[in-house]
Amino acid sequence: MARLSDFSFNLDERKILIRLGYQKRLENPSKAVRRALTAEIVGVRALLDPAAVFEVIDYAQTNGHPIFSQAVKVGLAVCTIGPRLELESSACFQRNDLLRGMVLDAIGSEAVAQVCRQTELALVERARALGLWPSKWFAPGYRGWDLEEQGFVFSRVPAGEIGVRLLDSFLMVPRKSGSFRINFYGDRALSTRSF
């Protein structure tokens, strides 16, 4: 098991605006939205508790799902930014501060995506150190890997160590969390990743 907690954030306004529903270059947000976004990007780090935990297991330790086919090993990860941003966003909605609540929520989505990407790179490095070829990352609920497979990920990765738990609905708490897998192949031709 490996645990990560040292993450850097590059919160790009354009990406956050897209998460808020603005189309690339087609719409300009109001001055109020821009001000709120700028203010929250500056102060949001105090609301982030980023962490990730991952395991690298042998194919024999998987549940035999076809998604793991031909993998020598599999990297499984759970990532989060913690609950504080989510709680603050919810509090904003409760007191009718809708703009700030929406901006925080969008920033949180981008922040957890960055935690996942940095964790993905750590798993890619682990695969290469083992002389194996990593796939792209895939999350439960996408591309033939049902959301219920979240249960398998949580059975192998000690997500509780970073404060993430799984509901009976297979959704994670805190909501600003992510999970994924990367297959490690012995044959470069099997990898879906460009090198």
Instruction: Name residue 179's beta-bridge partners.
Output: 78
Render pLDDT for 109-153 as a digit per residue (tens, 0 to 9).
Answer: 999 999 999 999 999 999 999 999 999 999 999 888 999 999 999
Nearest to 67 by CA among 1, 130, 121, 140: 140
Domain around 153:
2-190
Render pLDDT for 157-181 as a digit per residue (tens, 0 to 9).
Answer: 999 999 999 999 999 999 999 999 9
Q: Are 149 and 65 in contact (CB under 8 A)?
A: yes
| pLDDT value of position 23 | 79
End-to-end CA distance of the chain: 26
Q: Residue 16: which pLDDT band, with cuts at 50, 70 and 90?
A: very high
> In this structure, is residue 195 part of a structural domain?
no
> In this structure, is residue 26 part of a structural domain?
yes
Q: Mean pLDDT, to the nearest integer, of 65-77?
A: 96
For residue 145, give the 3-state DSSP assignment: strand
Domain count, the chain: 1
For residue 165, give the 3-state DSSP assignment: strand
Does position 60 have pLDDT exceeding 70, yes or no?
Answer: yes
In this structure, what CATH number is given to the domain that contains residue 102? 3.40.109.40
Instruction: Name residue 3's beta-bridge partners.
Output: 53
> In this structure, is residue 158 part of a structural domain?
yes
